[in-house]
């Protein structure tokens, strides 16, 4: 059903999903309250569903933020929903695989479609990172290549300067009256 995915994307642009992806512990993750908003369920309902199916969520799929991580992140949030949240209960962080697994435990049509969109966004981010890495490597190679030419360019500049200096010395000869046709 290609048309159905497009309806969700129209309501939730990729930028919105990307803005909810954080890097924590060197992993790209989404937090439980952001996923709850996207799936149109309460954070409590989402977390209860996870707890009922905890065997589907190994450590590489989900982890709970430490209080320090949460306090650092919390300073970045200004949404009203986060003001109501109990700061002593830290949110769950779901990796890409954890988000995919949520589609299996949240049976709503919205959750399944949204998981597909989110996973595609993760894939798109990964592709951009690979492109960025390739570009960075090309720039590094170019700098090395140009670096080798710096010495050659300096030799050329020196030769040109020497020629200009020689030309200045020859000016004394150029002041004489020329013979021949004008």
What digits encode the pLDDT tens for the residues 33-91?
988 888 888 889 899 999 999 998 998 999 999 988 888 877 766 554 555 666 678 99
**Confidence (pLDDT) at 73:** 79
Which of residues 126 and 28 earns the better pLDDT score?
Answer: 28
Order across the sheet with 62-64: list the strands. Answer: 21-24, 27-31, 92-94, 62-64
| Structure token pair of residue 50 | 């996870």
Q: Which residues contact 121 (CB under 8 A, 6 or more apart)?
A: 14, 17, 18, 21
Q: What is the pTM of this model?
A: 0.59
**Predicted pLDDT of residue 101:** 84
Confidence of residue 157 (pLDDT cuts 50, 70, 90): confident
Exposed/middle/buried for residue 77 (C-beta within 10 Å: 0-12, 13-18, 19+)? middle
pLDDT band at 147 (very low <50, low <70, confident <90, very high): low
Residue 8: band (very low, low, confident or very high) from pLDDT cuts 50, 70, 90: very low
pLDDT tens digits, one per residue of 83-132:
566 667 899 999 888 888 887 888 777 777 777 777 777 777 777 777 76
Neighbours of 28 (CB within 10 A): 16
From CA 19, how far away is CA 151, in angstroms rounded? 46
For 32-122, strand residue ranges (E) read 62-64, 92-94
- Res 140 pLDDT > 70: yes
| CB 71, CB 24: distance < 8 Å | no
């Amino acid at each position: 059903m290609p048309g159905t995915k497009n309806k969700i994307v129209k309501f939730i642009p990729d930028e919105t999903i990307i803005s909810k992806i954080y890097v924590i512990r060197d992993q790209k993750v989404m937090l439980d309250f952001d996923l709850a908003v996207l799936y149109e369920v309460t954070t409590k309902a989402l977390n209860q569903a996870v707890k009922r199916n905890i065997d589907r969520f190994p450590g590489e799929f989900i982890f709970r933020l430490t209080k320090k991580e949460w306090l650092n992140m919390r300073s970045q949030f200004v949404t009203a929903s986060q003001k109501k949240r109990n700061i002593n209960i830290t949110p769950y962080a779901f990796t890409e695989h954890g988000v995919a697994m949520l589609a299996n435990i949240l049976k709503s049509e919205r959750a399944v479609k949204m998981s597909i969109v989110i996973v595609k966004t993760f894939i798109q981010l990964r592709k951009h990172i690979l492109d960025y890495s390739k570009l960075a490597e090309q720039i590094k190679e170019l700098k090395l290549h140009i670096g080798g030419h710096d010495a050659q360019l300096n030799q050329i500049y020196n030769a040109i300067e020497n020629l200009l200096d020689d030309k200045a010395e020859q000016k004394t000869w150029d002041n004489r009256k020329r013979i021949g046709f004008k």
